[in-house]
Amino acid sequence: MEFQTKIILDKQVNDQIDYSSNILLLGSCFAENIGEKLEYFKFQNTVNPFGILFHPKAIENCLANAINAKVYSEEDLFMHNERWHCFEAHSKLSNSNKESLVSDLNKEVRQSHHLISTASHIIITLGTSWVYRFIETDTIVANCHKVPQKEFLKELLSVDEVVQSLEAIIALIKLENPRVSIIFTVSPIRHAKDGFVENNLSKSHLISGIHHIINKREKVFYFPSYEIMMDELRDYRFYKDDMLHPSSMAISHIWEGFKTTYGFFEKTKKKTKKTQSKISSD
């Protein structure tokens, strides 16, 4: 007897991942979860050089800045709560020293450009279709940095806008690295602050947008992280105490599905077992 509704995973992905792969992960918190798994098993990977990016516009802007070799200056920064921030980056880069932040941002631009150019796989995890537009400059930001809500307009990207942004992301990456495989996925983390109805609407726009641009011939794929969480693991025992974030057990289950889809061959599986044995004995 089956006690789960199983997601049928795509087993026809030819461009698979092994220990020679160079992997760049961009996007939401769930990108960091998968990145931690890759790191644990000693794959070559880098996660979010500019910090967590929740929506497609933020990722698009990050990629454009990296590929166009943007040079950040003090004009791109602002002071809030005694720290310097940039609306195009996560608060993990924020700094009490203005010059240090400018230097760090330009360092990440150079690193990101190199990573995009040399990656074999780029994994992009989208978290939300909700975006915040800074009223003063009429620009969509990657992170609000706890600036008061009244300074922003909250907007929902339409499916067409999501598609346009994803097409721009693919074009930017492929212009720099035509052979790279791009794997899109939707974060299973629920954004309760938006409201649960609004969260589902947001996720549906992302999923619909992604399915407009999947193209296996062009090596653009979709991995169903969100669907595995919602359909295979639809029980609160698979969530952390906040009932919003997947538990370590859930992340491990999704990771197993990822390994199945992207073909960690027998020699790779043996190496992961050796890694586990070594870590257990240390």
Look up tokens 């310097």; give the residue: 84
Whether 41 is in a domain gets the answer yes
Confidence tier at 6 by pLDDT (50, 70, 90): confident
Q: CB–CB of 79/58 below 8 Å?
A: no
The stretch 172-179 carries a mean pLDDT of: 96
Q: For strands 130-134 and 152-156, give the pairing.
A: antiparallel
Whether 245 is in a domain gets the answer yes
Q: Is the pLDDT of residue 271 over 80?
A: no
Chain segment 82-92, per-residue pLDDT in tens: 999 999 999 99
Short-list 255, 261, 257, CA closest to 276:
255
Whether 55 is in a domain gets the answer yes
SS3 for 195? coil
Chain segment 135-158, per-residue pLDDT in tens: 999 999 999 999 999 999 999 999
Q: Mind giving me the DSSP string for 222-253?
A: E--HHHIIIIIS-SGGGB-TTSSSBPHHHHHH
SS3 for 194? helix
Look up tokens 């067409």; give the residue: 160
Whether 15 is in a domain gets the answer no
Distance set, CA 124 to CA 27, 47, 55, 173 (Å): 6, 10, 10, 12
Whether 146 is in a domain gets the answer yes
Distance set, CA 70 to CA 76, 107, 112, 166 (Å): 11, 11, 11, 21
pLDDT at 9: 86
The stretch 95-114 carries a mean pLDDT of: 97
Chain segment 201-235, per-residue pLDDT in tens: 999 999 999 999 999 889 999 999 999 999 999 88
Domains of the chain: total: 1
CATH number at residue 267: 3.40.50
What percentage of residues in the chain have a pLDDT greater than 70? 91
Confidence tier at 268 by pLDDT (50, 70, 90): low
Under 8 Å CB-to-CB from 92, ≥6 apart: which residues? 51, 52
Average model confidence (pLDDT) across the chain: 92
pLDDT at 273: 63
pLDDT at 113: 97
Confidence tier at 109 by pLDDT (50, 70, 90): very high
User: How far apart, in whole angstroms, are the C-alpha atoms of residue 166 and residue 206?
Assistant: 10
User: How far apart, in whole angstroms, are the C-alpha atoms of residue 155 and residue 146?
Assistant: 17
Whether 1 is in a domain gets the answer no
Q: What are phi and psi for residue 77, nearest 5 degrees?
A: -110, 165
What's the full length of the chain, in residues? 282
Whether 237 is in a domain gets the answer yes
The stretch 150-173 carries a mean pLDDT of: 98
Rounded to two decimals, what is the model's pTM? 0.92
Whether 6 is in a domain gets the answer no
Q: CB–CB of 170/222 below 8 Å?
A: no
Write down the H helix ranges in the chain: 29-40, 56-67, 98-118, 159-176, 196-213, 225-227, 248-261, 266-281
Domain of residue 128, residue span: 22-281
